[in-house]
Amino acid sequence: MEKINLIDSFAEFKEYKGIDTETLMRILEDVLRGILVKKYGTDKNIDIINNPDKGDLEIWRNRVIVEDGNVIDENTQISYSEAITIEPDFEVGEELSQEIRLADFGRRDILAIRQNLIGKVQEYDRARIYNKYKEKVGTIVIAEIYQVWKKEILLLDEDGIELILPKTEQIPGDYFRKGDNTKAIVLKVEMKNGIPNIILSRVSPIFLERLFENEVPEIFDGLITIRNAVRQPGERAKIAVETYDDRIDPVGACVGMKGQRIHGIVRELRNENIDVINYTPNAELYITRALAPAKVLSVTLHEDTKKADVFMKPDQVSLAIGKGGYNIRLASKLTGYDIDVYRDSDMEYEDDVDLMEFTDEIEQWIIDALKGIGCDTAKDVLSLTKEDVAERADLEMETVDNIFEVLSSEFDEEQNKTEE
């Protein structure tokens, strides 16, 4: 008895590893019914027996035996004389079941079945991939680098599903080679022209949160809660944590013994500096902690505008602002307040000189670099070490030596005038 077994003959289905044989057979049955309706006008009198274990289908057309000359519908009725050629014992009024073989379909029908089956399987597979990754949005996946391009990277998961890591979602300093495995979170999943487009990210703050969940059992178990996380990818990050269990030090638990827990995260993030902060509902204390390592003298809040005026000693301002202004910007994002830093107005700084007064001796771009690290006056700069200025402002040591010489001479001249 010839069976309909098209799946084994279609090489295209070998790539759809996520679709089992039973599902393929159901799809094939749907496709066949469409063809049968087109061929016979209806499929209500047709039984399709699915044999998933064997990978084949049996199709049986049921027709009622009527007297010769009384056939009105050839699809649902068969004449007595024709019926007894199939089985001599048949009688008028009985139902005859006749198998439809593959040979009964024309070449055009076989081609239509093949094309429709491929289309349906692709549609099912794409929907399966979309639904699978839609549920994974915000979770970490590990995938293999398959192709590295200028604007994006193509990765393959364990099932061979294609994932995209755009350049904008890569950490500065990320370096990928074909065949390497990398971690990222599923940022979003969208359908484009019927094809699932799965976008990964390594710069999202959620990636930082998931890494902590993986490294810190107390977070995974819910004993420690992450209240907020902000990042400047590849440079600095701040994460606020809290616990309702007084026996647990949330910051210490996240850092780990000798920093072993946080070191793994730092390496994954390309040596991104991570500040773990103990969350508090006290906004002033929260802002103070967020601006670490700078030491704050006082904080004035403006709740109506969500702004905070922070006062500190001049030598702490550059620490509060941080290299490239990252520290203060991240502190603002973490706390939700627009933070402005002010120097404490001690009398010893009243004779200070604004850096703009030195444009004749110091180039403007250098002054801008110094202002970028929170140094607006001469004494702001001189309160720091030369090494600190060079590192934070990204200047050559020779340039820094010249800056200190120019600024120091200003106060030497003032001192000489006073002595005279």
Domain match, 113 and 172 both:
no
- Confirm whether 359 is domain-assigned: yes
Residue 336 lies in a domain: no
pLDDT at residue 413, as a whole number: 57
SS3 state of residue 309:
strand
pLDDT in tens, 344-367: 754 344 467 888 888 888 888 998
Residue 355 inside a domain? The answer is yes
> Do both 168 and 87 map to the same domain?
no
CATH number, residue 389 = 1.10.150
Tell which of 104, 131, 158 closes a domain: 131
- Are 126 and 143 members of one domain? no
Whether 14 and 114 map to the same domain: the answer is yes
Looking up residue 141, the CATH number of its domain turns out to be 2.40.50.140
Flag the least confident range among 101-105, 163-167, 325-329: 101-105
pLDDT of 259 > 80? The answer is: yes
Same domain assignment for residues 166 and 86: no
285 occurs within a structural domain: no
CATH number of 259's domain: 3.30.300.20
Query: What integer pLDDT is reported at residue 176 of this predicted model?
Result: 93
Has residue 136 got a pLDDT over 90? yes
**Lowest mean pLDDT: which of 9-23, 181-195, 280-294?**
9-23
> 205 pLDDT exceeds 50?
yes
Contact 358, 407 (CB under 8 A): yes
At 64, the amino acid letter reads V
- End position of a domain, from candidates 201, 235, 256: 201
- CA dist 375 and 384 (Å) reads 10
How many other C-beta atoms lie within 10 A of the C-beta of residue 318?
25
CB 242 within 8 A of CB 224: yes
Please check whether residue 28 lies inside any domain of the structure.
yes
Tell me: do 189 and 259 sit in the same domain: no
Are residues 165 and 250 located together in one domain of the fold?
no
Instruction: Say how many domains are in the chain.
Output: 4
pLDDT of residue 420: 44
Strand partners, 46: 61
- 208-257 tens-digit pLDDT: 999 999 999 999 999 999 999 999 999 999 999 999 988 999 999 999 88
Domain range spanning residue 228?
Answer: 222-279
Strands of 224-232's sheet in order across:
224-232, 236-243, 273-278
- The DSSP result for 233-255, as a single string, is TTTEEEEEEEES-TT--HHHHHH
Burial of 190 per CB tally in 10 Å (0-12, 13-18, 19+) = exposed
Indicate the residue among 237, 255, 279 that finishes a domain: 279
Bridge partner residues of 51 (DSSP) = 56
* Local confidence band at 68 (pLDDT 50, 70, 90 cut-offs): confident
User: How does pLDDT run across 355-408, given as a tens digit for each residue?
Assistant: 888 888 888 899 888 887 878 788 888 888 888 888 888 889 999 999 999 888
Residues 24 and 102 both lie in one domain:
yes
Asked if residue 386 belongs to a domain, the reply is yes
Q: Are residues 105 and 145 in the same domain?
A: no
pLDDT at 417: 46
Are 31 and 97 part of one and the same domain?
Answer: yes
104 and 49 in a common domain: yes
Domain assignment of residue 183, yes or no: yes
Look at residue 7 in the predicted model and tell me its pLDDT. Answer: 52
State phi, psi for 243 to the nearest 5 degrees: -145, 150
Mean pLDDT score of the chain: 85
Q: Are 354 and 346 in contact (CB under 8 A)?
A: no
User: Domain check: are 57 and 120 in the same one?
Assistant: yes
Whether 216 is covered by a domain: the verdict is no
